[in-house]
Amino acid sequence: MIGIVGYGSYLPRYRIKVEDIAHQWGKDPETIKRGLLLKEKTVPGIDEDTITISVEAARNALKRAGIDPREIGAVYVGSESHPYAVKPSGTVVAEALGIVPDVHIADYEFACKAGTEAMFVSYSLVKADLMKYAMGIGSDTSQGAPGDALEFSASAGGSAFIFGKENVVAEVLETYSYATDTPDFWRREGAFYPLHGGRFTGQPAYFKHIIGAGQAILEKSGFKPSEFAYAIFHMPNGKFPLTVGKKLGFKKEQLEPGWIVPLMGNTYSGSSPTGFSATLDVSKPGELILLVSFGSGAGSDAFIFKVTERINEVRDRAEKVKDMLENNRIYLDYGQYAKFRGKIIMAE
Amino acid sequence: MREVAVIGCGMTRFGELWEKSFRDIFVEAALKAIDDAGVDHLDSLYVGTMTSGLFVGQEHVGALMADYLGVAPVPAVRVESACCSGGMALRLGFFDIASGNSDIVLIGGVEKMTDGADVTYALATAADQEYEVYQGVTFPGLYAMIARAHMHQYGTTRKQLAHVAVKNHHNGSLNPHAQFQNEITVEQVIGATMVAHPLTVLDSSPVSDGAACVVLASSDVAKKLKKPLIKIVSSSAATDALALHQREDITTLKAVKHAAESAYKMAGLKPTDIQLAEVHDCFTIAEICIVEELGFVKKGKGGEFTEKGETALEGSIPVNTSGGLKAKGHPVGATGVAQAVEIVEQLRGNAGKRQVKNATIGLTQNMGGSGASSVVHIFKKES
Amino acid sequence: MPSPRYWRETPQRYRLEAAKCKQCGKISFPPRLVCLGCGNKDFDTVKLSDKGKIVTFTTICVAPTQFTEEAPYSIAIVELSDGVRFTTQVVDCTPEDLEIGKPVKIVFRKIQEEDKTGIICYGYKAVLT
């Protein structure tokens, strides 16, 4: 049996409400809350970045896995906000976890699906018997330009998944990936904020790829939507995943535990992986879970997991996503948020 | 060991000396001290400066000062022990004479802090760079943590801390060399801009430029001069863990305690024999801890002792009659030597409005970092 | 901060590695070559606990250049459950939240940057639990 042997997430404590961002730019918060189904979003602390979030998420995954970190053969960090343009995030993470030097490390980037990419390759390496364990992390401190619609959603957080063959918590039953060249959202080298094609990010990008991957994996596996306890689709806002779920034949209840975007925002590479982590937090042995990510550019990775008895042993070993989302929140006003996110031009 | 005496002293005014350079302020103080001593040559030169490399980009200070004072080829060396660089320079000069190697030695302390360097960072280099400074600690922060612990352990109050600054500003108002010659109130101290909770800017010594010098000589040489003979009867130094968190007790300045104990032993004196002291009040809490470590009062009672006025000019043991680091100013490397200048002036009876009557025995205590090094000297006037 | 100086301390800053004296058992953090407890020179590498309590603390309002954007920030001396003390920032809280004796947990955070184009330095900080 090959699958996840440990999972963990991390969300910063800081938040900003949709009202505060809307107020700053003279927009009507109610329209945005209704239109995007967002209430607030996570904001990284001034001392947090993709690397620190990855380390904390990975530590939680290690607590659940209960394994010696030195047995992990690969550490992959997927993000679109790696702190360095050149120099890996993964080396810091692996060093902090005590995994070095017998380890393969790489950083992934594919807009919001870099996390599931890291998971896919980790799974594949274990399946190929090249290593005992491999860890895939999806983590981001997402950027959204001031005043842009993205600013209401771009948030921070991440999740880590250790794949292996013993003491599996969620078995991988099937995978499928779907990708085309679609310029719906991008950030050029050196640019601070990403740009996007507005409504072009919808139908030809998000919906086409998620539905393409979703339908294909259902067909390949032979499962029907009704056989799944839960499904998670990438969450650029509150509305898109609900729409895509409906189109693929899923009910809102199946999406509910992983639909954390109203309080978390869009953590880009950490979005669907953290929705999946939140779903594992409430899942029971024997349940089937569908996970479909989406990354602009564009592509989707799909996974079907089957939860095992082991979930009951490991679930409480680390903090759950719902608790991170709902407890100990520190709210920022727009000025503090702008400072935290480096949006204020400082003296050189 | 030969007996050692101070035969001359001089200092610049402390403060923001915009018109004067690092080397100029040293030479100004040195010329005053040499003139006061009335000597025509020096056998060697010791200069205490903490971090001239960061403050003005200048190292190799011994040679520079010998050159500009016009005494080269006299051997000269720069001495560094953070904020007690000056006190340590004095100690090395003391031993140079005591050992019989030199007869007349000039000791200088100098710092130029206002030339635009990042002062907070420069001072922080006296703490553990990798395990304190790396985390964002500052010197006010370290002393603030000592203050918080002292308040927690002994019930020392915010007001008692303020009394140190109020007293020292009063003394500074009587000292023409002091950077601040104004009186302040307890309320002003407590209400001033916060630097590191609970310490405000008025709990803190200022950023200063300044230099101070003394000329030391063997007793035999000194006796030929027709001046009150001020002997150095003790020179003692000690060290402790560099990082505050490594100390056994956060509120105990063990290096000060050790240096004081051996200084008393060397002179055959007790704390009660000391008639006045210049101590290292870089922050108000420091003076409270130091009067405890010097044995003037029981551990934990320093705040109460200060509030009751025991350390005031007219108290049982006047402390920092010069205004201390707080009011006189704290050009870091100069401080230890300036403390000696004050004690010598007091013992000679030249301290003007701040004169302690009939003073014959005085002590200086100079300290580096958050207390990792300390040096204590005891001076005695021979009639 | 020059890269080699930062890099050399990573076992301590990233993983809280310390040296435990093989003779008297005293733990040195950072590791030392000579045990302060007994003078012995043989050590085992141990990993410190990530839980502790506040021994004393302050909130720094006037910060060195690398930390000005974070000011005011709190700093504490923390005693870990294995008895080791170190100095660390306490984050994600207000100064009013801090008290001597309060329990903390050690987390992994960014500590400072050389500048916007230099290396990013990571390490330990504390959060209240």
DSSP output for B83-99: BTHHHHHHHHHHHHHHT
Question: Model confidence at A218, in pLDDT bands (50, 70, 90)?
Answer: very high
**DSSP code per residue over B124-138:** HTTS-TTTTGGGT--
* Contact by Cβ (8 Å): B133, B124: yes
Asked if the C-beta of C7 comes within 8 angstroms of chain A's C-beta atoms, the answer is no
> Taking the C-alpha atoms of A194, A195, A199 and A200 in order, what is their torsion angle to the nearest 10 degrees?
-100
- Indicate if the pLDDT at residue C116 is higher than 90: no
Question: Given an 8 Å threshold on Cβ–Cβ distance, is B193 in contact with C61?
Answer: yes
pLDDT average, residue stretch B242-261: 97
pLDDT for the residue B75 = 98
Residues C4 and C63 in one domain: no
Question: Given an 8 Å threshold on Cβ–Cβ distance, is B134 in contact with C1?
Answer: yes
DSSP three-state, residue B160:
helix
- Name the domain count of chain C: 2
Evaluate the omega torsion of the peptide bond into residue B73 and state whether it is cis, within 30 degrees of 0: yes
Among the four given CATH numbers 3.40.50.880, 3.40.47.10, 3.30.43.10, 3.40.50.2300, the one describing domain B4-118+207-229: 3.40.47.10
pLDDT for the residue B227 = 77
DSSP three-state, residue B360:
coil
Question: Given an 8 Å threshold on Cβ–Cβ distance, is C109 in contact with A346?
Answer: no
CA distances from B291 to B302, B332, B372 (A): 6, 20, 17
**DSSP code per residue over B223-278:** HTSSS-EEEEEEEEEEE--SSGGGSSSTT--HHHHHHHHHHHHHHT--GGG--EEE
Residues A13 and A149 in one domain: yes
Residues C41 and C75 in one domain: no
- Indicate if the pLDDT at residue B383 is higher than 80: no
From CA B195, how far away is CA B284, in angstroms rounded? 13
Asked if the C-beta of C60 comes within 8 angstroms of chain B's C-beta atoms, the answer is yes
Q: State which residue of chain C sits closest to B246, comparing Cα positions.
A: C85
Q: Which two tokens stand for residue C2?
A: 């020059």
Pairing of strands B276-278, B361-368: parallel
From CA B307, how far away is CA B287, in angstroms rounded? 12
Percent of chain C, pLDDT > 90? 91
Residues A282 and A336 in one domain: no
**CATH number where C76 lies:** 2.40.50.840
- Indicate if the pLDDT at residue B45 is higher than 90: yes
Backbone angles phi, psi at B302, to 5 degrees: -60, -35
Per DSSP, what are the bridge partners of residue A290?
A231, A304
Residues A51 and A156 in one domain: yes
Q: Which two tokens stand for residue A97?
A: 């976890």
Cβ-Cβ contacts under 8 Å for B51 (sequence gap 6 or more): B80, B122, B123, B125, B126, B332
Give the model confidence (pLDDT) of C37-90 as tens digits. 999 999 999 999 999 999 999 999 999 988 999 999 999 999 999 999 999 999
Residues A81 and A33 in one domain: yes
**DSSP code per residue over A4-42:** EEEEEEE--SEEEEHHHHHHHTT--HHHHHHHH---EEE
Asked if the C-beta of C111 comes within 8 angstroms of chain A's C-beta atoms, the answer is yes
Indicate the helix (H) or strand (E) that contains A61.
helix A50-65
- Indicate if the pLDDT at residue C115 is higher than 90: no
Q: Which two tokens stand for residue B202?
A: 């008025």
Fold of domain B119-204+232-382:
Peroxisomal Thiolase; Chain A, domain 1 (3.40.47)
Partners of residue C54 in chain B, C-beta under 8 Å: none
Residues A150 and A264 in one domain: no
Question: Given an 8 Å threshold on Cβ–Cβ distance, is C55 in contact with B193?
Answer: no
Residues A120 and A159 in one domain: yes
- Indicate if the pLDDT at residue B123 is higher than 70: yes
Residues C123 and C78 in one domain: yes
pLDDT for the residue C1 = 65
- A313 within domain boundaries: no
Residues A27 and A163 in one domain: yes
Q: Among the three residues C11, C26, C48, which one is the final residue of a domain in this structure?
A: C48
Surface-to-core class of residue B270, CB atoms within 10 Å of its CB (0-12 exposed, 13-18 middle, 19+ buried): exposed
Residues C75 and C121 in one domain: yes
CA–CA min distance C32, chain B (Å): 13
DSSP three-state, residue A154:
strand
CA–CA min distance A165, chain C (Å): 27
CA–CA min distance C37, chain B (Å): 12
- Name the domain count of chain A: 2
Give the model confidence (pLDDT) of A294-345 as tens digits. 999 999 999 999 999 999 999 999 999 999 999 999 999 999 999 999 999 9
* Contact by Cβ (8 Å): C18, C31: yes
Residues C37 and C53 in one domain: no
- b/e per residue B169-206 (b: at least 16 CB within 10 A): bbbbbbbebbbbbeebebeebbebebbbbbbbebbbbb
Which domain does A163 fall in, by range? 3-169+318-340
Indicate the helix (H) or strand (E) that contains A153.
none
CB-closest option in B144, B149, B245 to C86: B245
User: Which residue ranges make up each domain of chain B?
Assistant: 4-118+207-229, 119-204+232-382
Indicate the helix (H) or strand (E) that contains A221.
helix A208-221
Partners of residue A346 in chain C, C-beta under 8 Å: 69
Asked if the C-beta of C102 comes within 8 angstroms of chain A's C-beta atoms, the answer is no
- Indicate if the pLDDT at residue A250 is higher than 80: yes
One-letter identity of residue C35: C
**DSSP code per residue over B185-229:** -HHHHHHSPEEETTEEGGGB----EEEEEEEEEEHHHHHTSSS-E
- b/e per residue A208-221 (b: at least 16 CB within 10 A): bbbbbbbbbbbeeb
Interface of C with B in 31-50 (CB under 8 A): none
pLDDT average, residue stretch C94-112: 97
Which domain does C7 fall in, by range? 1-48
Residues A7 and A136 in one domain: yes
Residues C54 and C104 in one domain: yes
DSSP three-state, residue C27:
strand
CB-closest option in B135, B148, B244 to C111: B135
Cβ-Cβ contacts under 8 Å for A296 (sequence gap 6 or more): A111, A112, A182, A184, A185, A186, A196, A201, A205
CB-closest option in C69, C70, C108 to A55: C108
Asked if the C-beta of A19 comes within 8 angstroms of chain C's C-beta atoms, the answer is no
One-letter identity of residue B165: A
* Contact by Cβ (8 Å): A286, A228: no
pLDDT average, residue stretch C113-123: 90
Give the model confidence (pLDDT) of A60-111 as tens digits. 999 999 999 999 999 999 999 999 999 999 999 999 999 999 999 999 999 9
Asked if the C-beta of B140 comes within 8 angstroms of chain C's C-beta atoms, the answer is yes
Contact: chain B with chain A (3+ CB pairs below 8 Å): no
Residue C28 sits at the vertex; the CA angle it makes with C26 and C32, to the nearest 5 degrees, is 120
Residues C44 and C54 in one domain: no
CA–CA min distance C108, chain A (Å): 6
Q: Which two tokens stand for residue A280?
A: 């594992």
From CA B119, how far away is CA A289, in angstroms rounded? 59
pLDDT for the residue B345 = 98
Residues A263 and A322 in one domain: no
Q: Which two tokens stand for residue C83?
A: 């008895």
Pairing of strands A170-182, A3-10: antiparallel
The catalytic residue positions of B are: 83, 330
Complex ipTM more than 0.95, yes or no: yes
**Taking the CA of residue B206 as centre, how many other CA atoms within 13 Å lie in the half-sphere pointing to its CB?**
22
Evaluate the omega torsion of the peptide bond into residue A101 and state whether it is cis, within 30 degrees of 0: yes
Question: Model confidence at A35, in pLDDT bands (50, 70, 90)?
Answer: very high
Give the model confidence (pLDDT) of A178-213 as tens digits. 999 999 999 998 899 999 999 999 999 999 999 999
* Contact by Cβ (8 Å): A46, A339: yes
Residues C27 and C59 in one domain: no
**CATH number where A120 lies:** 3.40.47.10
Residues A224 and A253 in one domain: yes
Partners of residue B193 in chain C, C-beta under 8 Å: 61
pLDDT average, residue stretch B313-334: 98
pLDDT average, residue stretch B71-90: 98
Question: Given an 8 Å threshold on Cβ–Cβ distance, is A98 in contact with C107?
Answer: no
Q: State which residue of chain B sits closest to C125, comparing Cα positions.
A: B135
DSSP three-state, residue B27:
helix
- A23 within domain boundaries: yes
CA–CA min distance B145, chain C (Å): 5
pLDDT for the residue C3 = 87
Residues A192 and A292 in one domain: yes
Question: Given an 8 Å threshold on Cβ–Cβ distance, is C55 in contact with B245?
Answer: yes
* Contact by Cβ (8 Å): A145, A48: no
Q: Which two tokens stand for residue C38?
A: 């007994």
